[in-house]
Structure 1
Amino acid sequence: MAEGPAGVRRRGVLRATGLALLAAPLGCAARAPAALDAAGAQRLLDRRARELLDPARGARPADPFSARLARVPLRSWTYRVTSVSTDATGERATLRADLDHRIAGHDPAPVTSARTLALRRGPDRWHVTAERPAPGARPGLWDHGPVDVVHGTRTLVLGTARGEEHRTELTRLAALADRAVEEVGTAWDEDWTRRLLVVVPGSPEAMAALLGEPAAGYRGIAAVTTGRRGPGPADRIVVNPEAYRELSAFGRRIVLTHEATHVATRARTSARTPMWLSEGYADWAAHRAEPAGPALRQRAPALARAVRDGRAPERLPTDADFGFGNDPERLARAYEGAWLACRLVADHWGRPRLNALYRAVDAARPGAGAAEAVLGEVLGVTAAEFTARWRARLLRDLG
């Protein structure tokens, strides 16, 4: 309890005379905390936010949630109370709040999530005893345990902490991601942040939880990029630790460069951009940096099998072909076919024209068939003529 000058003098007297110790319970009794209302709850969460932003936050063993964030470079962390409920005893309470947070050096705008906090009434104040995602809300990486952090030159990697061996893996990943930034810069000719934020959860299930999707759809997916067009938080490249670990060194470079390309082209990717162009361009940017990689049939094995079996596709991949819940062969053929379509544009018309095609589709008038209409404007061919050239090249190169 805070005391003025009189209180200070009183403490001096208590030290000087043992008889005055009898007055100690009256002079220093803790004031019971008031019933919790919205204003009081907001003040409590404001204090909690300041503590979580404190550089010494990891040194508070009594708050395990704070320790989980100890290494995370937070720029901001702010709660907004949305509801307060207290149990019948008045000793425990539950808060609902919206949380805004930003990662320093990456998020130009906050990430917003709904949170639930459990509180207990103490002798002098209310205390947070637990924090978790609100029902139906996506968790943060820190909701799965302590977060390890590795800084690259242009990359920040956040991973579920699992010991020094795992930290070494995160360090290697950061180096590959830095290389990916450079490789994308040789393909995409527009300015972008040239910074990557990579998140590595501890399991495919944790990855799916971060994405708000069923785990089954991501079993064979090594990484995905989340984000939105326009002002907002930075894109996150979310890595599936099991699928990524199974890749060769070549495969890991392809995956990270592919995802970095999505980050670079985000500002030019819209609902008008067909997935064969967005995914194909990302694969083209990744593969062009690896001229000494495996032969073409090895890089496009699913499509090569289809061509050899007399099942060469008659059309470019549709958006439906890229569904993560699809048969793995269908999904693989979609990605490989999209890559080879963009490779055809770059080889026949040149890299600047491929980039111009990507931008022109984004700028096209809304409506179905934007990409097909733009093919004629940028490449001088109809959609049917382009598809025929693409199919002929598949038969030639993969047959």
Structure 2
Amino acid sequence: MFPVRGVPSTPSVAPRADIPPTVVVVGGRTVHLHSLGGPDADHLLKRIAADVGAAINAVVAFWGEDWSRDISVVAAGTREQFLAAAGGPASQWEDIAAVTLVERVDPVSRQVAGQRIMFAPEASHMHEGALRIVLRHELFHYAARADTALDAPRWLTEGVADFVARPPVADVPPGAVPSPLSLPSDADLDTPGEQRSVAYDRAWLFARFVADVYQPDKLRELYVAACGVGHADVPTALRSVLGIDADEVLKRWREWLRR
């Protein structure tokens, strides 16, 4: 399952003072890897440390260099620690491997405080490819947080994060394309299980379509237009960036999916 984007949150679980973070410097950025204790957390952070350089490169290739030079990653030792940090009802997080959290954010001034990527202990058991996707997905949210409005359409932020994270030639998952075809919605992301998984797939396919047909730079431009500070609604952003209205976008997306 691909993780959802974090929302502004007050941290209720802090990294343990008796466990110093592992610090990795890659690509001019400093990654602080915090363990909340336990063998699963320690093992997970070793795996993340080995792959975080490639993840940073993937995000920079799409989003550019202008984002935080300090990255905080926290690995929970227990499910209870993860749920306490994530907040909200436990059912919301039952199929979530990681989430990007932030204490305060002011997109107007691009000021972000207390941002960190929080991994659930179950992530330590993910196979290599799946963990790579989760790390890149969350790292994109980390990079884009300062430029993402608090009321941005979550389905588009998630679809772009998955575009950055997933292999570019990944197969279309069964059931991901509804009939009739429609744009995803934020509500689709809020139900754990199959509905949420399919919603992520559809959001990713839309982002992949835009990048494939119009080039990745246009997808980035669409993100800024539809998700940035003072953003337009999605139909207006589509007209502004792609030069066509939403109905024509759906028509071209449908044709792309048939190919």
Same fold per superposition (TM over 0.5) = yes
**Contact persistence 1:276–1:338 (CA under 8 A):** yes
Larger Rg: 1
Question: Partners of 2:241 and 2:151 in 1: how far apart?
Answer: 16
Question: Partners of 2:188 and 2:91 in 1: how far apart?
Answer: 17
Query: What are the residue-to-residue correspondences of 1:1-399 with 2, within 5 Å?
Result: 138-142=12-16, 146-147=18-19, 149-153=21-25, 154-162=30-38, 167-189=42-64, 191-227=66-102, 228-230=104-106, 231-242=111-122, 244-287=123-166, 290-291=167-168, 295-297=170-172, 301=173, 304-305=174-175, 307=177, 311-312=178-179, 314-323=181-190, 326-362=191-227, 370-394=233-257, 396=258
Give percent identity, aligned residues only: 35
Letter in 2 for 1:341: F
Letter in 2 for 1:213: G
Shift of 1:365: 5.0
Quickly say closer, same or farther: Cα 1:327–1:160, change in 2 above 3 A: closer
Count of residue pairs brought into register by the alignment = 242
Secondary structure at 1:373 match in 2: helix
Letter in 2 for 1:158: H
Letter in 2 for 1:320: A
Gaps of 5+ in 1: 1-111, 114-136
Question: Partners of 1:166 and 1:212 in 2: how far apart?
Answer: 19
Quickly say closer, same or farther: Cα 1:168–1:282, change in 2 above 3 A: same
Q: Between Structure 1 and Structure 2, which shows a larger proportion of strand residues?
A: 1
**Contact persistence 1:181–1:194 (CA under 8 A):** no
Question: Partners of 2:152 and 2:65 in 1: how far apart?
Answer: 17
TM-score (norm 1): 0.55
Question: Partners of 1:279 and 1:389 in 2: how far apart?
Answer: 21
> What whole-Å deviation, never above 9, does each CA across 1:273-314 have from its counterpart, x for those lacking one?
212211111010112xx35x7x413xxx3xx2355xxx4353
Letter in 2 for 1:237: I
**Contact persistence 1:272–1:361 (CA under 8 A):** no
**Contact persistence 1:181–1:195 (CA under 8 A):** no
> What whole-Å deviation, never above 9, does each CA across 1:69-104 have from its counterpart, x for those lacking one?
xxxxxxxxxxxxxxxxxxxxxxxxxxxxxxxxxxxx
**Contact persistence 1:148–1:167 (CA under 8 A):** no
Shift of 1:348: 0.8
Quickly say closer, same or farther: Cα 1:327–1:211, change in 2 above 3 A: closer
Secondary structure at 2:62 match in 1: coil
What is aligned with 1:22? none
Secondary structure at 1:229 match in 2: strand
**Contact persistence 1:376–1:382 (CA under 8 A):** yes
Question: Partners of 2:226 and 2:41 in 1: how far apart?
Answer: 42
Gaps of 5+ in 2: 1-8
Quickly say closer, same or farther: Cα 1:166–1:380, change in 2 above 3 A: closer
Letter in 1 for 2:165: A
Question: Partners of 1:332 and 1:147 in 2: how far apart?
Answer: 35
Question: Partners of 2:99 and 2:136 in 1: how far apart?
Answer: 12
- Report the more deviating stretch, 196-205 or 251-260: 196-205
Question: Partners of 1:316 and 1:392 in 2: how far apart?
Answer: 15
Question: Partners of 1:173 and 1:363 in 2: how far apart?
Answer: 29
Question: Partners of 1:201 and 1:364 in 2: how far apart?
Answer: 32
**Contact persistence 1:141–1:210 (CA under 8 A):** no
Quickly say closer, same or farther: Cα 1:375–1:313, change in 2 above 3 A: same
Higher RCO (C-alpha 8 Å, min separation 6): 2
**Contact persistence 2:176–2:202 (CA under 8 A):** no
